[in-house]
Structure 1
Amino acid sequence: MKFQPTLQVSYQPPPTSPRLFPLDLLKAASITAVVSFHALFVPRETFADQVLTLDLLFAPLKFCVPVLFTLSFFLLERSLARETSAPRKAKKRLIRLMLPLVFWFTVAAGLKLLHNNALLEVFQEVLRGGIFVGAYYLLVLGQYVPLFGWLRQKLHKDRALGLTLLAQGAVFGLIYGALALGSPLIGLLRALDRPLFIYWFGYLALGIFLERNWSRLVHLSTKTSWSTKALLVFLTALALVLELAGLRTLTKGEIPPFDYVLFSCLLSAGVGFGVVASVQEEDLPPWLRRVVSLLATYSLGIFCINGLLSQILLAVGSHLAVGWSFGLVAILGIKLVGWGSLLALSLGLAVLLDRLGLGVCVR
């Protein structure tokens, strides 16, 4: 395979930019989980009878986006806390975010236009964060980063985390109620889609809180046994499965854009940080440390590239698999093979783009 040798690269972060290994581990696990949701390249109708089972089997991996958002705000708080001029640092971070956003949105829009999509339709997909799979993530960060310097001052106050999480929970509860009642509000929310800021502010508060209390979290994680951590992970996974099943019932299977409007998603971000906070590099074998380093370093590139590639591969698969039908074992096999292949190909292309001088768009 053309890009296979790149998987042996051992990335060593520069000494001037210290990294926390538990964060790299979270980032690597999260980006791997993200790819799993984009790894089916056959039409949905070919496995219609298996959709519910697949959704519930992979529901525990929905920690990925909550953790990535929390990581983003954690790292932004960390960088601003060390900067004498926080507004200037926030401005630099916004510029740093806008470069890959503009690059990948331009590439995705260009591909859409080449396939004769109407310009207005492409523009609407850009605004809705649907120009490629997962594009909404960059749009959400683009909304919060400019305000981060102001928001962090509010969230440094006592009880800020609790109040913010209560407000986020109230938003989720309101949406659940609107779904149950068939409120016209749901139509508006579907039109605004996933980039709507009201779904994500809880992770902003959580990221800031975890960064400011990182040493305490590491201490608590160190004192917590692995059996207790395993139980927490199991209960969180179970909560994700049960809540997603309930959301499917409320939405009659039409879940988007409410995929992450789950109380258990908020829980999963906190549990994820708590479980890995005490993990050190020497706790893992060398080969796994190299894999974690690569996935964490190129997580941005993998996120965007896999979102683009999955759409292309699905278009090809939809053309080839017309009239086919897959049972559970077959579709699981297809998904697992697609997952591994898409992750490896996305990583290989990210490394290649980095070597071509486009590191700012993939790292």
Structure 2
Amino acid sequence: MPARAARPVSVRGGELLREECTIEKQTSEGRRSASWSTVMNEFLKWYNGYRHAHLVFRDPDGERVRTPMQNSHQPKYGDRYYARLKALEQQMVHEYDDLHIAMLTFTGSTRNANGGWRCPADHLRDVIDSWRPDRGRGVYHTLRDSLNDYEWEYALVVEKHNSGYGHVHCAVFVDGEVTESDFHTAIDAHLRECDIAHRDAHDYYHQDDEKHPISINAVDTDLDPNREDVEDITNVGSYIGEYIGAYGESLFQRSTEELAFRAAVWASGTQLVRFSTGANKMIDQQRPDSDTPDDEPEMVEKMGFDPEADDPSQTVDGAPVKPIEGQWSIEGVGRVDESGESLYDMHRSGVQYAEIEGAQHLDPPNRKSPYRPQNVNTKTAITDFYS
């Protein structure tokens, strides 16, 4: 994919990228984004470092304890998401009388106004920022208005397209029967706030139901999922988990497109899954006990994908980790090779970010007017922008 590989990850002035994903400019003291292929190589080197590293602690008795270093791109991290989704399912089934899930899909054109490929981090930010824009009312505010008479929570999931670019799924958990029309205004809000979102990929009147940006299902966990006539969702964890990605596979066994997507996510400090505040409270009610084994320290974990975060270091995987005060102490990072174990001090607490200078003229967004569709029986043409 040479045309995509050569694209800078971002050209939007003032945005932050991981420092190792930027290059010093020769003509000024500023920095610019590295190419997408360079960023992917940096991402894979970073990930490879985790495979042979562990954190070394002293427990309350002074004994040395080792625990693997983890990041959200590892296969076992998917187990955490699944466990949290199952906890949310159990609590919602208990508290909600008639649980339904609406899955909304938000995307944007991966081609710029010049016909070239977009810079992937800028493309992803455009799509994400419609949820809660800096100014005005976005998708979240519209959902809050349209679901005012319901109890509801949500989970946001960032997923890849086959092109390596990202898009967003929003799973809306509602207590009560809802229809697609209840979410039309949310799709319209995305089109209004996201310049690169085109109606042809968000046509909720399309003749083909599979092309609708909205799907709605009831949840009944008592049904046998193996029955042929079952249309309801019987396992929320599996249903939402399908949108999160190939967590069961080692990262190096995944497609080039997924590696490229995750590299852009990693460089820009975007996390893949975020639960609403209310959903997190439900999960905590269902799982009050620590997930940490008795022989490992309980860590402070910063999870969630937050489009509103001012400082990406508050949400990225490199955020500081520390054991519970007064019970455990951290000694450093251990690495094991043919010579045995080496212990390294932890010199910095988080990810270093750099602000890049603007070169937006290299990547003008491909904007279209967000016209309202008509509920007609004629088939709408779908472009190839979102393949």
TM surpasses 0.5? no
Higher percent of residues as helix: 1
Higher percent of residues as strand: 2
TM-score, L = length of structure 1: 0.28
Please say which structure displays the higher CA radius of gyration: 2
TM-score, L = length of structure 2: 0.27
